[in-house]
Chain A
Amino acid sequence: MLANPFRPRRGLRIGGKHSSHHVDRELNLPDAITAQRLSKVYRGGKGIFDLEFSVPEGEIFGFLGPNGAGKTTTIRVILGLLRPTRGSLSVFGLDSWRESTGAKARLGFVPGDPRLYERMSGAAFLEFLAGFRPPGTMNRARKLASQLELDLRPRIRHLSRGNRQKVLLVQALMHDPPLLVLDEPTGGLDPLGQGSFLELLKDERSRGKTVFLSSHDLHEVERVADRVAVIRDGKLVAVEDVEKLKAVRERRMELTLGRPLRDGFFDGMSDVRLIASQNGGNHVELSVCGRPTALLERLAQEDVIDLVYPPADLESVFLHYYTDIEEAHE
């Protein structure tokens, strides 16, 4: 079995003081992140508008939206880089703008665009950032780097994309923060690297950490997140449990058949729709909502030559919610 390049090999556990998050919640301590009518409006009118969500401790919270939807703006508010135009955002009860130093002490951040200090070595870079963290942070950083098989000697400009990502991950984890804020962290990673990275996030969650994961990849978020917020054009479309999201979003299925589907094939399957039929019914495109169990059972009786069932994309989610909104208006 291949070792996970993003997962410490020998099960390194650093700290663990936040593993009592359940107790914290029982004690009614603040959520890891709370946004209340949060707006940040840029000149020209773009931005984020009236976002309202909270992320309890110990949850992986997916923040899903297409490019330009407002994901990075939200993260920049969390980091205290942007001052909200209206509303507020707090990190463990600390206002992200007025008390940003305290808030940032409790989080680790992986930016989407991994532009680092190119002339520094990995070690010098981590030492610099560790200087702002509690004593002993650099020791933990070295251990983490070792576990991730990351050579800290080369200059950052000589590192591959994957190794840069590891450097970023080490700097985000080295002070053992209770909250990880990740801005499209798997961009540029190959599928194996993405999978390993997501496994690492699950490990962190099992240690009681909270993860705020921004992504435009629905499939990626579905694999790890407990709940998902969907954002589009700066507005929250929905905040749902992942399981509910899976149940409502539509997926496409393409079938190549030896003979057309029998008459009455779709009877009793309200979650399956025929979208297109070509080549005299030998090539069909279906829309599938929810579990495909019943459909697959019926297909087993058909002359299926090929079947393509790609992961759901973000548009399918938007389609669902926008249809709901339109119906509500009608």
Chain B
Amino acid sequence: MIPMLRKSLWDLRWTAFWYAAGGAIYIFAIALFYPTVREQAETFTKLVAVYPKAVLAIFGFTDLTTYTGFMGTETLNLIWPAVIIVFATLGGSAVVAKEVEDGTAELLLSVPARRWRLLLAKEAALGIGLLGTVVAAALALVIGAVVVSASVKADGLLAMTVVMAAFLCTVAAYTSLFSSVTSSRGAAAGMSLGVTVAFYLIWVVATLGDSWKWLKNLSIFTAYTPQKALETGSIDAVPIAILVAITAACVLLALVTFERRDAVA
């Protein structure tokens, strides 16, 4: 398993680096605008208040007057995860399908190792890559806060890291399941993006009124609360536990599927 993990990390290194760096630079750049917004907090608050609730929900608008609220609205709630979800989706779709499509599966699977161990190593490498992007984002938040004379709490950063990592690993896990089942990167990525967008739309609809509130239970975005975690320094245990359970179930299914199916057509 170690050789596979090492190789997978090596293969992912530049992709993970550029997503992490891109996300971090974006967060830091946005943080530099915070002093301007802070000076005109009243104007922005009035502006946000006139937007329809659905629009605010779709774009993740909350409180612009605090550093955590501003960063949540402008980066953590929508734009940053949207970018890193692409990484999770592309990485997850490649775990099985890339080897099959590139024609390297035959040689790789001729080594004396159980298939599930090879796949688990690949999934672990992807998880480490995703964690790297989250850590880079947290670092960018801290550096941004220092530069604009704001502050973030250590426990808030830790809680945010847990929330973001759990969320991204869930996306990667169900994508890798699709990859294991279909052996096609395009199909796996397409199915995954479809599921992710559906989860997001369900979550948006759920925020529109009390009569739709029950829909929240059907979306993984309900557990994605990085801004709240950053502000309070705590996580909602149940939603995060559900994300972890979904991740574990999808990984397990992917491993079992890959172990039991024909490896190549």
Binding site for B on A (CB under 8 A): 42, 76, 79-83, 101-102, 104-105, 107, 109, 111, 113, 115-117, 128-129, 131-133, 171
Q: How far is the CA of A81 from the CA of B262 in the complex (A)?
A: 6
Q: How many angstroms between the C-alpha atoms of A105 and B112 in the bound complex? A: 5
Query: B111 near A129 (CB under 8 angstroms)?
Result: yes
Q: Is B149 an interface residue (CB 8 A)?
A: no
B2, B3, B262: the one within 8 Å of A83 (CB): B262
**Please, how many angstroms separate the alpha-carbon atoms of A111 and B109 in the complex?**
12
A101 closest partner in B (C-beta): B112
Expressed in whole angstroms, the Cα–Cα distance for A101 and B110 within the complex equals: 9
Q: What is the number of residues of chain B that contact chain A, defined by CB distance less than 8 Å?
A: 21
Query: In the bound complex, what is the Cα–Cα distance between A116 and B102 (angstroms)?
Result: 8
B117 (CB) vs chain A CBs: closest residue: A101
With both chains docked as a complex, state the minimum distance between the C-beta of A48 and any C-beta of chain B, in angstroms: 13
**Do B264 and A115 touch across chains, with their CB atoms under 8 A apart?**
no
Which residues of A sit under 8 angstroms from B106, Cβ to Cβ?
76, 79, 81, 109, 111, 113
Q: Could you say which residues of chain A place their CB within 8 Å of the CB of B105?
A: 81
Q: Would you list which residues of chain B between 94 and 141 have a CB under 8 Å from chain A?
A: 102-107, 109-114
Check B104 against A131 for contact (C-beta < 8 Å): no
Q: Which residue of B lies closest to A79 (CB)?
A: B110
In the bound complex, residues from chain A placing their C-beta under 8 Å from that of B2 are 131
Interchain CB contact under 8 A, B114 and A104: no
Q: Considering the chains assembled together, what is the distance between the CA atoms of A133 and B264 in angstroms? A: 23
B3 A128 Cβ-Cβ under 8 A: yes
A-B contact pairs, 8 of them (CB 8 A): A79-B109, A81-B109, A101-B113, A107-B110, A129-B111, A131-B6, A132-B111, A133-B112
Known contacts A76-B264, A115-B104; is A104 also within 8 Å of B3 by CB?
no
B-side interface residues toward A, CB under 8 Å? 2-3, 6-7, 102-107, 109-114, 260, 262-265
Asked if A109 meets B107 with Cβ closer than 8 Å, knowing A115-B102, A128-B3, A132-B3, the reply is yes
Q: How far is the CA of A81 from the CA of B103 in the complex (A)?
A: 13
Closest approach, in angstroms, between the C-beta of A166 and any C-beta of chain B?
15
Known: A79-B110, A104-B111. 12 other contacts (CB 8 A): A76-B263, A81-B106, A81-B262, A82-B263, A105-B112, A109-B106, A115-B102, A115-B107, A131-B2, A131-B3, A132-B112, A133-B112
What is the bound-complex CA distance between A133 and B6, given in angstroms?
A: 15
- A101-B113, A128-B7 in contact; A81/B104 too (CB < 8 A)? no
The reply to whether A82 and B262 contact each other, CB–CB distance below 8 Å, is yes
Select the residue from B2, B7, B110, B265 with max chain A CB neighbours within 10 A: B110
Report chain B residues within 8 Å CB of A107.
Answer: 110
The CA of A191 and the CA of B21, in the complex, are separated in Å by 52
- Cα A105 to Cα B111 with chains together (Å): 7
Whole-angstrom distance between the Cβ of A32 and the nearest chain B Cβ: 16
Contact between A82 and B264, CB atoms less than 8 A apart = yes
Please tell me if the beta carbons of B113 and A132 are within 8 angstroms of each other in the complex.
Answer: yes
Q: Which residues of A contact B102 (CB under 8 A)?
A: 115
Q: Which residues of A contact B109 (CB under 8 A)?
A: 79-81
